[in-house]
Amino acid sequence: MFVKPASAASAPFVGPFALTTLSAPDGPAFPALVTPDAQVTDLRAALGDDQLTIRALLEIWEEVLPRLRALAKDTGPTKPLAGFRVHAPVEPRQVFQSGANYRQHVIDLHVAHRAPGDERPEEERRAEAAEIMDRRATEDLPYVFIGLPSAITGPYDDVVLPAWAEKPDWELELAAVIGRPAYQVSTEEALDHVAGYTIANDLTDRATVFRRDMPQIGTDWLRSKNAPGFTPLGPWIVPADSVQDTGDLQLTLKLNGDTMQDESTKDMIFDVARMVSYASQSAHLLPGDLVLTGSPAGNGMHWGRLLRDGDVMEGSVTGLGTQRSRCIAEAS
């Protein structure tokens, strides 16, 4: 979709600038610097590289960051954001996704999925779950798996619900964008490898999370999470030095105007540094890669209300802006 003047009158992110990928009608996509007053600088022209992309910028993040700061102060020729199409801000090579990383969310799941024969009152089972979560935070490891870049779509694009998806659900998340290669980095070093942050909605078909034909093999994230467009991303990458505290950001998702998720990253079991460090112990994280940090309480399964044709999701994270996606059911 194209940004309308009402939504482009201001770009609600923290700091002097953010990055994204834009295109004019019938024009090619280009890397852009956006200021809070919704003015756009085409970074191809500003940095003298017609082939430039956001991922290429992230490859030289430490070198180019001072130039971006200078551009934000004295942008030269700019255009208003209104009228440009906003794409996903970056095309990653790798997407690292996280599950079970919000304390209250996991406690709710623990209580909801009562074992057969467990007749204890909810308060007792909730206290047990809270103890497990506290122990997990100090003794256990994050739960990370791999997503496909082909599932990513723009922050205002329609999301097609596949005909086979019986229980499509939302999962609003804070996403870290890698700016320096990271391999086997410590928790203390991890945030030095993060260029900035953006918003992801990591949609999941709950009906296909577990294989029905072979339940013993566990989760099937390929089937349940990686349909085309199942990861709306953006609209902005806000540089890390503009985000004061990733441990105190509010994630809010509204469905057709009704608030479904509204939780702080304070409820994370593993913070951003631990997530990035953990992923880097097994994989080589590359500039432009995404580390999704999990979704808080308030998914559709909690409400007994899953996504259907015509639904509109609006997701925001403090200081990172807002994305808006309309759901369209695929024809059978």
Note the pLDDT of residue 303. Answer: 93
Chain segment 191-226, per-residue pLDDT in tens: 999 999 999 999 999 999 888 888 778 888 999 999
Helix (H, G, I), strand (E, B) or coil at 322: strand
Indicate the pLDDT class of residue 11, thresholds 50, 70 and 90: low
What is the radius of gyration, based on Cα positions, of the chain? 20
Indicate the pLDDT class of residue 5, thresholds 50, 70 and 90: very low
Whether the CB-CB separation of 193 and 185 falls below 8 Å is answered with yes
Q: Is the pLDDT of residue 3 over 60?
A: no
185 secondary structure, DSSP code: -
Q: Is the pLDDT of residue 316 over 90?
A: yes
| pTM assigned to the model | 0.92
Note the pLDDT of residue 119. Answer: 82
Q: Is the pLDDT of residue 1 over 60?
A: no
Note the pLDDT of residue 282. Answer: 97
Chain segment 166-191, per-residue pLDDT in tens: 999 999 999 999 999 999 999 999 99
Chain segment 100-150, per-residue pLDDT in tens: 899 887 787 767 666 667 888 888 888 888 888 888 888 889 999 999 999
User: Is residue 85 within a helix (H) or strand (E), and if so which, with residue range?
Assistant: strand 85-87
Chain segment 239-270, per-residue pLDDT in tens: 999 998 999 999 999 999 999 999 999 999 99
Share of the chain above pLDDT 90, in %: 76
Note the pLDDT of residue 213. Answer: 86
Which runs of consecutive H residues, i.e. helices, occur in the chain? 5-8, 43-47, 54-59, 61-73, 103-112, 122-139, 187-190, 221-225, 272-282, 300-303
What is the distance between the alpha carbons of residues 207 and 66, in angstroms, rounded to a whole number? 47
Residue range 57-75: mean pLDDT, rounded: 94
Note the pLDDT of residue 9. Answer: 37
User: Is residue 68 within a helix (H) or strand (E), and if so which, with residue range?
Assistant: helix 61-73
The residue type found at 327 is C
Whether the CB-CB separation of 296 and 105 falls below 8 Å is answered with yes
Q: Is the pLDDT of residue 6 over 70?
A: no
Q: Output the CA torsion sign for 128, 133, 138, 139.
A: positive
Indicate the pLDDT class of residue 10, thresholds 50, 70 and 90: very low
Domains of the chain: 5-87 (no CATH), 95-102+141-329 (3.90.850.10), 103-140 (no CATH)
